[in-house]
Structure 1
Amino acid sequence: MSAAGTEPTLHERHRAVMPTWMATYYDDPLELVDGKGRHITGGDGRTYLDFFGGLLATMVGHDIPEITEAIQRQTHRILHSSTLYLIRSQVELAEKIVARAPVDNPKVFFVNSGSEAVETAFLLTTTARASNQVIALRGSYHGRSFGATATTGIRRWSASSLSPLQVTYAHSGYKYRSPFGHLSDREFTAACRDELQTMIETSTSGDIACYIAEPIQGAGGFATPPDDFFVEMKTVLDQYDVPFVSDEVQSGWGRTGRSYFGIEHYGVRPQAITFAKGLANGIAIGGVVAEADLMDCLTANSISTAGGNPVAMTTANAVLDYIESHDLQANADHVGRILRQGLEALAGSCPLIGEVRGAGLMIGVELIVPDTRTPAVRQTDAVLAEARNAGLLIGKGGLAGNVLRVTPPMTVTETEAYEALDILRDVLDKVYQADAAAPV
């Protein structure tokens, strides 16, 4: 508590009125007050290089003029209307998504968040299949709402066993800690495929609403499957006519560098794609693009009061136009390779690093206790804090919270990438040396 006679700090005020389960980074949490490009100013007056991008939502950077001006123009016109009225920017955005989505005969419905997008996908698929059985992946994260939490395969992000769904958890493409991890990629994928078939035959009725998967798992620590993984899983799903839902809340719009939607890299055409986060560069947005028959399966009325609102739609149109006109997918691939190669080089000299993985500007660095595969949770927190002290903001994730998440906005430059690598090299060495010198 604050000393007698002094005003409480923002952190103390936060703790007084916010839930205890709403986590913040750092022992002394940081307020973000201003930003430009890939740099952000904190309430402490310091400027930081932002390599987390508001949990991947600040997709193209802070205070991008083309986006800021689009928001300002719309706010001077109308802020809200609801989907009971025609919204021109909503139709225009849906047309852009339909033109790029790897979904047959697609339609789009807009909501306000990734959690709501996933819930919409579950509403559609459970209705269409008249089943509440869902297959999700171990290590997955799909949101904080009831159904989304039920399909989240990370214990520390799943607060309740209560669920509107019956969920079967299949193997993910996370080889590093898989019981099949010792196999080659081809053998690993075959083992996961065969296990999926066994699970369907033994743990479900066979009439399954959907299979939901993140092409690259986000909170799970950017677990990145072998290239043939989802193609092989879909051969099993197709035998049972199970719809594939690709959760692209973090991997969409070219961030992976290798495809516009993350699932395209794997050669799979899903029946539905959920999206949110970076589409509006931080403005609340979400949605589903799905095959028309699936999207139109509902027999009751449904609208969205705030989903598809003019401000979010206008912003998202500006974001997609900016990504296209500045070829940011190519930049994500190019700068992502610089970061990935630099981090892999660090892994060769830093015993704390167990694995570097990901694609484009979704990079995970799994930290381990040296000479083991024990998750280095304490060291991960230390790296996060030391990186902040050195002027770099990154995130963390993974099943045990031991994976650094390196996710700069898609406008990041080569110079900024090398600056971040220099900071991470120094920080990882500092944490390793301090750990090695500590008494046993």
Structure 2
Amino acid sequence: MDDATVPHTAATHGTRAAGPHAAGAHAPAPAAPAAAPGPHAALLARHRAVTPAWLATYYREPIEVTHGEGRHVWDAEGRRYLDFFGGILTTMTAHALPEVTKAVAEQAGRILHTSTLYLSTPMVELCERIADLSGIPDAKVFLTTSGTEANDAALLLATAYRRSNQVVALRNSYHGRSFTTVGITGNTAWSPTSLSPLQTLYVHGGVRTRGPFAHLDDAAFTAACVADLEDLLGQAEGTVAALIAEPVQGVGGFTSGPDGLLAAFKEVLDRHGILWISDEVQTGWGRTGDHFWGWQAHAAAGPPDILTFAKGVGNGLSMGGVVARAEVMDCLGANSISTFGGSPVTTAGALANLRYLLENDLQGNARTTGALILGRLRTAAPGLPVVREVRGRGLMIGVELVERDGRPSARAAAAALEHARERGLLVGKGGRHGNALRIAPPLSLTEAEAEEGAGLLVQALREADREVGGKEQTP
């Protein structure tokens, strides 16, 4: 192993034991002492010593991001990167956005924490704004500290309201890392245990271009998935509480069914009284460009019964939440509070962030700059056999990579990730087989930055294509 994996210690670089050369014989000159590890290697060694082995990091040599501005970040060695992943879709507007920084500093100067046992003007104002934006009638909002916690709360509401622990989820889905949300995650790469307090049934529809229905047109695909749902519900014993779905699957590789699929599902759900939970942790706040919420691509059946959100609204602050109509939100019979949900600091920052997003039409900007990136990638794709598909909408773009025989290629995705970083571009990775790149820059991305990032990504894909075998063809 190299210096990045094994710290230098007295055990590895100590004095030599006495031996045949110890007493003045013609002993070779002692080796020069090994150089001390640099600060980066030392931090990596410390990280590995005190954090779980399953805590993933990107890159062969993980980087420490120390500061950012706009759409750029810098690492501890001073290297500058164009950020096309935003801390897993969390830096929604920009790094070090002055409006958010100012709001957080001013609130921190007054009081950092109170809890939901006390009234809070920033919390109430944020909840009012989100309830209004949600599209859910008679909406109430419960704030949490993460998307995982938001989905946990949504499942608690649905199962209590329906008095059932049966939940329908989509295949290839991801909803969080807690014990409950792992139990409804259809992407087994992110599901470390089969134990769960829920009985989960999985339905087709999350992936359009793979699986048994991939050959069908959109209308037939939707009909087949609806038939699958009907059959599933026919086999379920007793009452099903809810169907939870990401309008665009995030960790799954930015995949989705056709527009209108979830609306068709909702028609079936409504006949059975089953709730629809829309997981908007990654798709919300205008990221897809065409819509403010992902569910609005399926709006024919109206809004979901429950909506969950997180990530982008805090722009890096720990923020999530649940929106539901009052009848559902108020169904719990026990007392409850949130110690950190609705914190004065996070809600003040989120309010400033949301205000900036709306006043500067960042949804429209996502539509424009996202179309530019998609166009560049789709133009290059025919000359890159490693690229099976370029998909997405707005600034939520996936690139699926394969081997020459069409099998999903995790090694190609890993190579592209490395080559992009070497060129000064940060992107994400996902997919059931770890073979999809995820592109999700802050929504304030400029057209010049979109052009630059797309060009760097195409270069990285060409290098990855060479590594999986053969030279790329010229389009």
Offset at residue 219 of structure 1 (A): 0.3
Q: Do residues 357 (structure 1) and 391 (structure 2) align?
A: yes
1:434 is displaced (CA, Å) by 3.4
Letter in 2 for 1:219: V
Partner Cα distance (1:211, 1:359) in 2: 24
Q: Deviations over 1:409-436 (max 9, x none)?
A: 0000110111011111211112212332
More divergent stretch after superposition (173-182 vs 50-59): 173-182
**Structure 2: where are the runs of 5+ without partners?**
1-5, 14-33
- How far, CA to CA, are the matches of 2:131 and 2:292 in structure 1? 12
Query: Using the alignment, how far apart are the partners of 1:391 and 1:68 within structure 2?
Result: 26
Say which SS state the counterpart of residue 244 (structure 2) adopts.
strand
1:347 correspondence with 2:381: yes
- Partner Cα separation in structure 2 for residue 435 and residue 215 of structure 1: 32
Match of 2:3 in 1: none
Deviation at 1:178, TM superposition (A): 1.6
Describe how 1:10-89 pairs up with structure 2 within 5 A: 10-89=43-122
SS at match of 2:62: coil
Give 2:206's match in structure 1, choosing from 154, 173, 181.
Answer: 173
CA distance in 2, matches of 1:12, 1:405: 28
Q: In structure 2, what is the Cα distance between the partners aligned to 1:383 and 1:64? A: 29
After the TM superposition, which of the residue ranges 236-245 and 1-10 deviates more from structure 2? 1-10
- The CA distance in 2 between the partners of 1:266 and 1:313, in whole Å, is 29
Kindly provide the amino acid, as one letter, of the partner of residue 291 in structure 2. S
Residues 266-309 of structure 1: CA deviation (Å, up to 9, x unaligned): 11410010011111101101110001000000111111011001
**2:294 alignment partner in structure 1:** 262
Distance 2:468 2:340 in 1: 50
Instruction: Determine the structure 1 residue equivalent to 2:28.
Output: none
Q: Provide the C-alpha distance between the structure 1 equivalents of 2:131 and 2:355, rounded to a whole number of angstroms.
A: 15
Q: Is 1:293 paired with 2:336?
A: no
Letter of the 2:87 partner, please give it: G
Q: Which amino acid aligns with 2:241?
A: A
Alpha-carbon displacement from aligned partner over 1:115-150 (angstroms, at most 9, x marks no partner): 110010011111110000000110110000011000
> What SS class does the counterpart of residue 357 from structure 1 fall into?
strand
Which of 117, 131, 138 in structure 2 is aligned with 1:105? 138
Where do 5+ consecutive residues of structure 1 fail to align? none
Question: Deviation digits for residues 147-203 of structure 1, max 9, x if unmatched?
Answer: 10000011110001110100001112312212110011110110000010000101x
**Structure having the higher Rg:** 2
Query: Residue 239 of structure 1 corresponds to which residue in structure 2?
Result: 271
Q: 2:138 is matched by which residue type in structure 1?
A: N
CA distance in 2, matches of 1:111, 1:437: 49
Aligned-partner SS, 1:116: helix
Which deviates more, 228-237 or 328-337? 228-237
| Letter in structure 1 aligned against 2:329 | M
1:132 correspondence with 2:165: yes
Corresponding position of 1:335: 369
How many residues in Structure 1 have an aligned counterpart in Structure 2? 436
Amino acid at match of 1:251: T
Q: Are the equivalent residues in 2 in contact too, given 1:173–1:229 (CA < 8 A)?
A: no
Identify the residue that residue 275 of structure 1 maps to in structure 2. 309
**Greater displacement, 428-437 / 374-383:** 428-437
Give 1:206 shift.
4.5
Out of 339, 355, 361, the position equivalent to 1:321 is 355
What amino acid is the match of 2:375? Q
2:253 aligns with 221
Structure 2 CA distance, aligned partners of 1:199 and 1:435?
Answer: 40
**Secondary structure at 1:195's aligned position in 2?**
helix
